[in-house]
Structure 1
Amino acid sequence: MNKTQLINAVSAKSELSRKDAESAVEAVFDIITQSLVCGDSLALLGFGKFEVCQREARTRIDPKTGEESIIQAGKVPVFRASKSLIQKI
């Protein structure tokens, strides 16, 4: 499912207009993004948890040339599904 399909599904399920559903979906994405940018985690009971994790620096080897290079440390967004979501799947 892509973003357009998600907006259409929200519109159909909630009986909102497509424009209102698009605003709602965008608002949720913006809130999640802003929370992660601030370094906070966002837990949705029964769904999962969005958080930012620190990834350590590491070396990699280019398979074509065999040359080693360093991948720098950085922050990455992570989603951890809740137990109830995992059981439903």
Structure 2
Amino acid sequence: EHCHPKASGRSSSGSGKLPEEAQPYEARHDKKNRLMRIDELHKFSDGTLNDVRNALDDRLKGIQMQYLPTIIWRRGDKDRAAAMI
């Protein structure tokens, strides 16, 4: 049984190309917003690259950093923490 091409959502040419409104955005055409290539990593400082490498390494090993909230400790908090240690 042959289905009408418009009813099936396919173009009659059979190219399988997406309609213009469904085309994925390509950032390469806009020079300001283009995606960074692997050879452009030199734009970061070494500290940034180390932070990224360490974060990726932690993710790979399954380490999740959960930081304590940054509050000013009262004297009683410090005493209680010292007693626990």
Q: Normalised by the shorter chain, which TM-score bucket?
A: under 0.3
Whose Rg is larger? 2
Q: Which has the higher contact order (CA 8 A, sep 6+)?
A: 1
TM-score norm. by structure 2 comes to 0.26
